[in-house]
Amino acid sequence: MIYFFKKSATEYLSVGSHSLLKTEDLDKLSWLFSGAEHLGNAEISGFFNGPRKEMITPWSTNAVEIAQNCNIGGIFRIEDI
């Protein structure tokens, strides 16, 4: 599953998860992302610059570890797009 969070008009975050996340976990992620709004869509339209899908950034590794420390399981990648 891929979840998208809207941080501002031009900034989004994508979260890759092995399983469905509970509403409680989505609320925690929104808080971790400084109030970013969870978009219920599985995809977003537009042109975005971000890392290649094959390359996980160091920022993502740290963000996933923080999410795991908040007891949000199943997340394997978080990227700022």
Averaged pLDDT, 30-57: 84
SS3 content of the chain, % helix, strand, coil (to 5): 25, 25, 50
Whole-prediction pTM value? 0.86
Q: Angle, nearest 10°, between helix axes 58-69 and 23-32?
A: 130
Give the model's confidence band at 40: pLDDT under 50 very low, under 70 low, under 90 confident, else very high: confident
- What's the chain's Rg over C-alpha atoms? 12
Give the model's confidence band at 43: pLDDT under 50 very low, under 70 low, under 90 confident, else very high: confident
Query: Which tens digits make up the pLDDT trace of 22-32?
Result: 999 999 999 99
Query: Which residues span the domain enclosing 37?
Result: 2-80
Number of domains in the chain: 1
Averaged pLDDT, 50-66: 87
